[in-house]
Chain A
Amino acid sequence: GAGVSQSPRYKVAKRGQDVALRCDPISGHVSLFWYQQALGQGPEFLTYFQNEAQLDKSGLPSDRFFAERPEGSVSTLKIQRTQQEDSAVYLCASSRGSGLGSPLHFGNGTRLTVT
């Protein structure tokens, strides 16, 4: 497909478990973003990559959150020792450019439920 692909679509984790969420951006897109969306809220920025470089990780809520994009394509968001407050939809977005105002293309997200 031509869009941003995220897997798994749904993830249920017990509190304390580690999870890994995957994002396949649109081919050739330089920029990749992770956002967290709580129920009934707008997305909140987590982190941003340009190619393999993580240029901004100011939105990561704690050091339990870690993101990587080692080859400048696929990205993984890892959450260690999950807590109930981590329950949310995690959205990945990519963009062709790295300039101001390039629109973001979002995946359908991974819904994480921590029990």
Chain B
Amino acid sequence: SQQGEEDPQALSIQEGENATMNCSYKTSINNLQWYRQNSGRGLVHLILIRSNEREKHSGRLRVTLDTSKKSSSLLITASRAADTASYFCATGAGMTTDSWGKLQFGAGTQVVVTP
């Protein structure tokens, strides 16, 4: 079973536009991470936001977290063709050494950026 749900499932935009995708989750978390996956490749870590943080920036990426609504958003500004990929949110609920890496992923948002 998957913890998170991304919305929308697919997004098509033109270069230079902003892309926003949302993630909702069900249970309490201690951190939420966003990953990118290019077709046929592994996942690449983009950004991590802890449960006591509300917003985080990394380059053209901006992530928000609202724990009261159990939701997060990822904004990619000034998108490029190279941003074409699937984007996944992953929640970590484990509080112990034994369980911290057990991430639960959503089904992803497929983003296509056309030149």
Contact = CB atoms under 8 A, between A and B. Distances in A.
B68 to A, nearest CB: 21
Interface stretch (B59-67, B73-81, B93-101): B93-101
Contacts of A56: 98-99, 101-102
B105 A44 contact: yes
A40 interface: yes
A109 interface: yes
B43 A100 contact: no
Contact of B104 (A45, A100, A106): A45
Q: What's the interface size class on A, roughly?
A: 20 to 34
Contacts of B105: 42-44
Chain A facing B: main interface SS: loop
Nearest to B45: A103
Given A4-B42, A42-B108, A91-B42, A104 B101 contact: yes
Contacts of A43: 43, 88, 103, 105
Interface of A: 4, 31, 33, 40-45, 48, 50, 55-56, 58-59, 91, 93, 95, 98-109
Interface of B: 2, 4, 30-31, 33, 35, 40-45, 48, 50, 88, 90, 92, 94-95, 97-108
